[in-house]
Chain A
């Protein structure tokens, strides 16, 4: 039987061997990580108390973190979340070293694993703070939600790095029958940080998983999610919000799969970009043979707020079963000059107009998020970026002048404006 040392050795070899993009479908469309991340391992420091103090001060106690992870330390104050050594979980994961260069990187250099266990019938809410310093921070987050249990998890990703660094997280989510989970990730790392995010899941009959991500921070963001409605009557709903400024680059690839009969899988990705930021949205949906009466939905939208910004939308779909409903769409456009003129003619300045348009653009997705820390802090970081173009600092979670129109999403989770929208 292979040892953990063999596993790590293999992971390092895979990291060195693999190209940055292995997918034939996307090999011409990806954002390259511009340097060797392993060169930065072992550098810098990480002080849990310091970062917790900075974030707590900004949030004025409105959000209490149960789990705090930094590049050099990890702690949990919750009975439901345990910090364990990476070696204990090396051979039972859903992710393998061979599948992606940066999965291998995280596997090789993860010191800790956060294991969240939600027992049968329990209802658990957890807030997690993850902050890298100059030392890259690699973490594996294993979530187990038992039968008929419910989890609302908020993960806030910050950064204190003064030099090139990275934060990498692998999520592995297992849900038993009738379980419910809302996993929320808000990425607000600073511009020295490369963001690496991976997720896989396995869910049983009639379980519901909502996976919401806001990508606001980071120099380069690379996302590879595989979210599956594995079992009969299971539901997965993925929401991705990308808000870029300056020279930020985002490569967001998410694959949803219907494998169970009567299952639902939906993916909504929205990107608003300023300055010369760039985003590739790669939404892929598959309905497997046997997944009859299932529904799949991929929806990508982009708006360009400045001439130098760019979005590539690459939706794709593969349907191997009859008697299913499947739709996909993608559209990107610059902000319409007539819309800006209309709003400015009523007295709103250009910054105010952009604020209205971007908040309006994201409002239907934000309205769907039921985790309040995620919703409020996401709106606050978006507001901060609209006002200053900055990111990476934790703003006050004040949403005084931000309005979300909840009615913009109907009971089926379909957006107003979509041709299938019904009140």
Chain B
């Protein structure tokens, strides 16, 4: 699977957030978008999955050469795109397991045996060092910040996308939790030949997940690209030179 973003311009509530962003990635690659607050990173993630409030004013998003702009959000997910949310919504009354089982059946287009599904869940819950009570709870209701992040990774493990966008996967996690989450992400990426597009402010998670490409995003566009050395440079110098 190839995800290609061409000269993308996006506005949100009549304000242009992304202006002229281009990026290309393939399944199996790990790309990282770094940038200061307000640079449009999360808006880019939402745009790729087709959030109803964002408006693409110019440019295109293609999957395997075909535009996905006219597709609904669930149709984009069915292509193999996945978004790990920075702040997952809480949905009262909707059981986490019920939700995930429904999502799995929708993505597959056929019935998923509850027995096999639960086996898969329990294996991943153990991998992510999550408590057993987690399974019976409503979707994200009362989850701590760390539990929410782990729940998103659990979804990724079960739904098996081709390219996953991880929006600040390290925020709200302590160092032990970052290690656990990173190990799971690496394992899924290796097993499923998963493409990763990681959005982050900090380099901390990149100690555990090895990136192939680094993109620096400022004011809605990519201003620098490179390898791991770019991360080291940003650690030393910050984003100042790109903001000027």
Chain A: residues with CB nearer than 8 A to chain B? 336-350, 352, 355-357, 359-364, 401, 403, 405, 407-408, 416-417
Picked from B52, B98, B100, the residue with its CB within 8 Å of the CB of A337 is: B52
CB–CB B102/A344 < 8 A: no
Are A342 and B88 also in contact (CB < 8 A) when A337-B53, A347-B159, A348-B106 are? yes
* Chain A to chain B: the 6 pairs with minimum beta-carbon distance, closest first: A360-B93, A360-B94, A344-B73, A347-B107, A347-B77, A403-B98
CB–CB B138/A356 < 8 A: no
CB–CB A339/B102 < 8 A: no
Q: A337-B52, A349-B74, A352-B102 are in contact. List 13 more A-B contacts (CB 8 A).
A: A337-B53, A341-B49, A341-B73, A344-B74, A345-B83, A346-B82, A346-B103, A348-B102, A348-B106, A403-B95, A405-B95, A405-B98, A408-B138
A225–B97 CA distance with the chains assembled, in angstroms: 38
Q: Which residue of B lies closest to A339 (CB)?
A: B89
Is B210 positioned at the interface, with any CB of A under 8 Å from its CB? Answer: no
Interface residues of B in 80-115 (CB under 8 A from A): 82-83, 85, 88-89, 91-95, 97-100, 102-104, 106-107
CB<8 Å pairs between A and B, sample of 26: A337-B53, A342-B88, A345-B74, A345-B83, A346-B155, A346-B159, A347-B78, A350-B72, A350-B74, A352-B74, A356-B99, A356-B102, A357-B94, A359-B93, A360-B94, A360-B95, A360-B138, A361-B93, A362-B93, A403-B98, A407-B136, A408-B92, A408-B93, A416-B92, A416-B93, A416-B138
A416 to chain B, nearest CB (A): 7
What residues of chain A lie closer than 8 Å to B58, measured between beta carbons?
A: none
CB–CB A405/B159 < 8 A: no
CB–CB A364/B93 < 8 A: yes
Is B141 positioned at the interface, with any CB of A under 8 Å from its CB? Answer: yes
CB–CB B93/A343 < 8 A: no
Is B51 positioned at the interface, with any CB of A under 8 Å from its CB? Answer: yes
A403–B117 CA distance with the chains assembled, in angstroms: 15
Would you give the 0/1 interface string for B108-147, flagging 1 where the beta carbon is closer than 8 Å to chain A? 0000000000000000000000000000101101000000
What residues of chain B lie closer than 8 Å to A417, measured between beta carbons?
A: 92, 141
CB–CB B92/A336 < 8 A: no
B100 to chain A, nearest CB (A): 8
CB–CB A347/B74 < 8 A: yes
A346–B118 CA distance with the chains assembled, in angstroms: 18
What residues of chain A lie closer than 8 Å to B141, measured between beta carbons?
A: 416-417
Q: Which residue of B lies closest to A358 (CB)?
A: B93
What residues of chain B lie closer than 8 Å to A364, measured between beta carbons?
A: 93
What residues of chain B lie closer than 8 Å to A356, measured between beta carbons?
A: 91, 94, 98-99, 102
CB–CB A347/B106 < 8 A: yes
A339–B51 CA distance with the chains assembled, in angstroms: 11
What residues of chain A lie closer than 8 Å to B91, measured between beta carbons?
A: 339, 342-343, 356-357, 360
What residues of chain A lie closer than 8 Å to B97, measured between beta carbons?
A: 403
A268 to chain B, nearest CB (A): 13
Interface size on B, residues (CB 8 A): 36
What residues of chain A lie closer than 8 Å to B106, measured between beta carbons?
A: 347-349, 352
B71 to chain A, nearest CB (A): 11
* Residue of A336, A341, A346, A350 with most chain B CB atoms under a 10 A cut-off: A346
Q: Which residue of A lies closest to B107 (CB)?
A: A347
A99–B91 CA distance with the chains assembled, in angstroms: 42
A344–B91 CA distance with the chains assembled, in angstroms: 13
What residues of chain B lie closer than 8 Å to A362, measured between beta carbons?
A: 93
A99 to chain B, nearest CB (A): 37
Are A360 and B73 also in contact (CB < 8 A) when A347-B78, A405-B136, A416-B141 are? no
B54 to chain A, nearest CB (A): 10
What residues of chain B lie closer than 8 Å to A346, measured between beta carbons?
A: 77, 82, 99-100, 103, 107, 155, 159
A290–B28 CA distance with the chains assembled, in angstroms: 73
CB–CB A341/B103 < 8 A: no
Q: Which residue of A lies closest to B90 (CB)?
A: A339
A215–B155 CA distance with the chains assembled, in angstroms: 36
Picked from B76, B89, B102, the residue with its CB within 8 Å of the CB of A336 is: B89
What residues of chain B lie closer than 8 Å to A348, measured between beta carbons?
A: 74, 99, 102-103, 106
A286 to chain B, nearest CB (A): 29
A364–B94 CA distance with the chains assembled, in angstroms: 10
B145 to chain A, nearest CB (A): 16
B154 to chain A, nearest CB (A): 12
B121 to chain A, nearest CB (A): 14
Q: Which residue of B lies closest to A406 (CB)?
A: B136
A150–B46 CA distance with the chains assembled, in angstroms: 55
Q: Which residue of B lies closest to A353 (CB)?
A: B74
Are A345 and B89 also in contact (CB < 8 A) when A405-B136, A416-B141 are? no
CB–CB A345/B49 < 8 A: yes
Are A363 and B52 also in contact (CB < 8 A) when A345-B77, A346-B77, A356-B99 are? no
A137–B33 CA distance with the chains assembled, in angstroms: 68
Interface residues of B in 187-215 (CB under 8 A from A): none
What residues of chain B lie closer than 8 Å to A416, measured between beta carbons?
A: 92-93, 138, 141
What residues of chain B lie closer than 8 Å to A355, measured between beta carbons?
A: 102
CB–CB B92/A341 < 8 A: no
What residues of chain A lie closer than 8 Å to B88, measured between beta carbons?
A: 342
A362–B92 CA distance with the chains assembled, in angstroms: 10
What residues of chain B lie closer than 8 Å to A352, measured between beta carbons?
A: 74, 102, 106
CB–CB B92/A342 < 8 A: no
A407–B133 CA distance with the chains assembled, in angstroms: 11
CB–CB A345/B73 < 8 A: yes
Q: Which residue of A lies closest to B133 (CB)?
A: A407
What residues of chain B lie closer than 8 Å to A350, measured between beta carbons?
A: 72, 74
What residues of chain A lie closer than 8 Å to B53, measured between beta carbons?
A: 337
What residues of chain B lie closer than 8 Å to A344, measured between beta carbons?
A: 72-74, 77
A369 to chain B, nearest CB (A): 15
Picked from A340, A343, A361, the residue with its CB within 8 Å of the CB of B99 is: A343
A340–B95 CA distance with the chains assembled, in angstroms: 15
